[in-house]
Amino acid sequence: MLTTTDHSRDAAGLRYVYPVVSRRAGGISIGINLNPNNACNWRCVYCQVPDLKRGGPPPIDLGLLEAELDELLRRVASADFLAELAPPGARRIVDVAFSGNGEPTSAPEFGSAVDIVERVLVRHGLLGTVKIRLITNGSLVDRLRVRAALARLGQLGGEVWFKVDAVSTKGTSSGASPAPTFRVNGVRLNADTMRRRLRLCGGLVPTWVQTCVFEWDGSPPAATEVAAYLDFLASMKDAVAGVLLYGLARPSCQPEAGRLGRLPEIWLAELAWKIEKLGLTVRVSP
């Protein structure tokens, strides 16, 4: 039986499609993995993907993807399968989510995959009931093909969860202390670029900021980093639907795993209160 701490991509024995019990979505999420080679253009220290490497996905077999999604939705329609799959209270499909083992929008076939999800949900009578989501680092929003797919996602009533784990500002990087985005996500990214990409995304489809927070070597994020993050959110509150704030639930498979720890729930609650004071909706998953 799946739990919120087990997001195995092999649960259904399929190549591209897998079920998980999602804390943030509140039920069974049908995941779509367009990066089966465990390659991503970012390297987040909390990532649970084993053997993660830098790069893009292999060519996607769209016919197989459609067949697998069809098959899994047929399975999940069975009460017996649901009972085997998920605990009571989570036995309902809440979304089909592009997530997987890397950045979904890095696949040239991403737009076609959105069309496939629409088609299969219509076939099962689930379009409009089951939401289509994209979980993304937002790094490729500048590409026309990605924006076209985001616009289609918006037309279908879908939404985006856009990663903002840390915000780097001038003066936050020096020799032994790398900028927060580099330390957490493995990329050098300034706040202005993040704002532009997030605004582009939010203008095409309802978009939530998703933020993972954790202890590093036994300490919570520094006050200066929290302040930079809050300033960033304050500048974006007219462009986003809200914030999904969450802590570590599954063990990291990255070299830094031993340096990471779960934050006390009270710490997350205090940060959520500060975000709410900015006028933003917050959902917390400790």
One-character DSSP codes across 51-107: T-EES-PPPP-HHHHHHHHHHHHHHHTSHHHHHHHS-TT--SEEEEEE-TTS-GGGS
b/e code 6-44 from CB counts within 10 Å (16+ = b): ebebebbebebbbbbbbbbbebbbbbbbbbbebbbbbbb
**For residues 29 and 13, is the Cβ–Cβ distance under 8 A?**
no
Instruction: Please tell me the distance from the alpha carbon of residue 21 to that of residue 84, in angstroms, as a whole number.
Output: 12
Domain 17-285 CATH (choose: 3.40.50.11540, 3.20.20.70, 2.40.10.330, 2.60.40.2230): 3.20.20.70
Say what the alpha-carbon torsion angle 174, 180, 181, 182 is, to the nearest 10 degrees. 50
What pLDDT was estimated at residue 86?
61
Q: How confident is the model at residue 88 (pLDDT cuts 50, 70, 90)?
A: low
For residue range 215-255, list pLDDT tens digits in order.
Answer: 999 999 999 999 999 999 999 999 999 999 999 988 999 99
Q: How far apart are the first and last CA of the chain?
A: 21
For residue range 106-131, list pLDDT tens digits in order.
Answer: 999 999 999 999 999 999 999 999 99
% of the chain exceeding 90 in pLDDT: 78
Does residue 269 have a pLDDT over 60?
yes
Where in the chain are the domains? 17-285
pTM over 0.85: yes
For residue range 131-141, list pLDDT tens digits in order.
Answer: 999 999 999 99
Long-range contacts of 11-16 (CB under 8 A, 24+ apart): 11/85, 12/72, 12/75, 14/68, 14/71, 14/72, 15/61, 15/64, 15/68, 16/60, 16/61, 16/64, 16/65, 16/68, 16/69
Does residue 152 have a pLDDT over 50?
yes
Q: How confident is the model at residue 22 (pLDDT cuts 50, 70, 90)?
A: confident
What pLDDT was estimated at residue 178?
73
What pLDDT was estimated at residue 171?
53
Does residue 169 have a pLDDT over 90?
no
